[in-house]
Structure 1
Amino acid sequence: MDIEQLSDLQKNNRVEAMELLELFSSEYEQRDYQEKVPIVNVPDELFNQWEDCYELPLGHEWHKKAYTNEEYLALQVFNVTVQKVAAKTPRCLPALSDFIGTSEWQALKDAALSATKAFK
């Protein structure tokens, strides 16, 4: 991979992480997503997207270098919450309308809001 491709990969991953944190933190955005793509289980999709964005690239040097130290720490802290919620919830999460308002949903929302502050 050349330097330009690596730079694009890092930029795209940063954008994806920021957008995903914003989605985790917004009931409105989650409901809008569900309305636009009714065949998708939004809670499951959020976890899947997080895995693709954060968990799969772990261990690749380019991944950590895409972020400032503060941003990367915020992602790590958010990931701890994701893992805790994943451990407490069924593999197939309930529909968004049933998930919103649960303590697990609130924990994800709060952690995502906190993490987004590192990106501002």
Structure 2
Amino acid sequence: MTDAVEDTEEPISAILLNQRYRNHLIGYFSWVSSFQEQREYQATVPLVHIPHEAFNQWEDYASDRILDHYVEPVFSKDEQEALRAFRDVWNSASDDTPQRLPSLEELIGTESWERLRIAAEKALDVFMRRGPFDWDREEFPMH
């Protein structure tokens, strides 16, 4: 007979949750902004279709319904603007690509994929001004 493992994790605060999402977004912008990182991701996780992953992860982390929750102090005004600017390019690139996306190598070099890469690079630059935040401790504790 095995002992049941109790989940003693307490719910995390909105601040800490946003810090974690912010860190995920930095990682997302990092690989979407780099064709080399996209290729490495594809090689490391061959079952994942990287072009679809680029669109799906954005929806997971920053869909329109989620974006409004990314507020100060975790997301600076510049970062909020960068998210919205990226979203606009993401929407445009999504409209300009077929629903069933071709392979990564077929997309690299296309105007819409380059536009998405550049937008991710710009967003990453904005986010890296402050860099990633702590995963387990609030950087902006509420007093």
Q: Report the TM-score, using the length of structure 1 for normalisation.
A: 0.90
What's the % identity of the aligned pairs?
Answer: 33
Query: Are residues 1:98 and 2:84 paired?
Result: no
1:4 shift after superposition: 4.4
5+ residue gaps, structure 1: none
Partner of 2:140: none
AA aligned opposite 2:34: S
Partner of 2:50: 42
AA aligned opposite 1:83: N
Q: 1:89-119, CA deviations, whole angstroms, 9 ceiling, x for partnerless residues?
A: 1112111111111111100111111112212
Aligned residue pair count: 117
Partner of 1:67: 75
Residue in structure 2 matching 1:58, options 60, 67, 74: 67
AA aligned opposite 2:92: K
Q: Please give the root-mean-square deviation of Cα atoms over the aligned residues, in Å.
A: 1.6
Query: Are residues 1:76 and 2:84 paired?
Result: yes
1:68 shift after superposition: 0.0
Partner of 2:125: 117
1:88 shift after superposition: 1.0
Q: Report the TM-score, using the length of structure 2 for normalisation.
A: 0.76
Write out the 4+ residue segments of structure 1 that deviate beyond 3 Å after TM superposition: none
Bigger CA radius of gyration: 2
AA aligned opposite 1:41: H
SS in 2 for 1:40: coil
In 1, the alpha carbon distance for the partners of 2:52 and 2:98 equals: 10
AA aligned opposite 1:58: L
5+ residue gaps, structure 2: 1-9, 130-143
1:3 shift after superposition: 8.7
